[in-house]
Amino acid sequence: MHAATSSSVHLHRRAAPGWVLCTLLVAGCGAEVAGTAATVGKLQTEQASQARAQQQQIVDGLKQAQDAGLQRAADAAASAGQ
């Protein structure tokens, strides 16, 4: 009976480094996932900022085109009235 107890204690001691290794690997994987998520979040923020800048450029271009069209219409109306 003493041999069985000694054997099970021995197995338990041998398994401990494996559990430690697994815990470290899982923790490392979690850190990598967190780092990847942070990187993706940063890229998405940059893309959103670029998209807003592009949107503003398009809106500005449309306003300029609208103003130019209104000016042409006003000029045409003034020419027709003369």
Q: Does 73 or 26 have the greater pLDDT score?
A: 73
Half-sphere exposure at residue 23, Cβ-oriented, CA atoms within 13 angstroms: 6
Q: What angle do CA 14, 15, 20 make, to 5 degrees?
A: 115
Q: What is the pTM of this model?
A: 0.52
Burial class (CB in 10 A: 0-12, 13-18, 19+), 34: exposed
Report the chain's mean pLDDT, rounded to a whole number: 80
Statement: residue 12 has pLDDT above 80? no
Statement: residue 71 has pLDDT above 70? yes
- Residue 21 and residue 35: Cα distance in Å, rounded? 21
Q: What angle do CA 38, 42, 47 make, to 5 degrees?
A: 145
Enter the tokens of residue 46: 């940059």
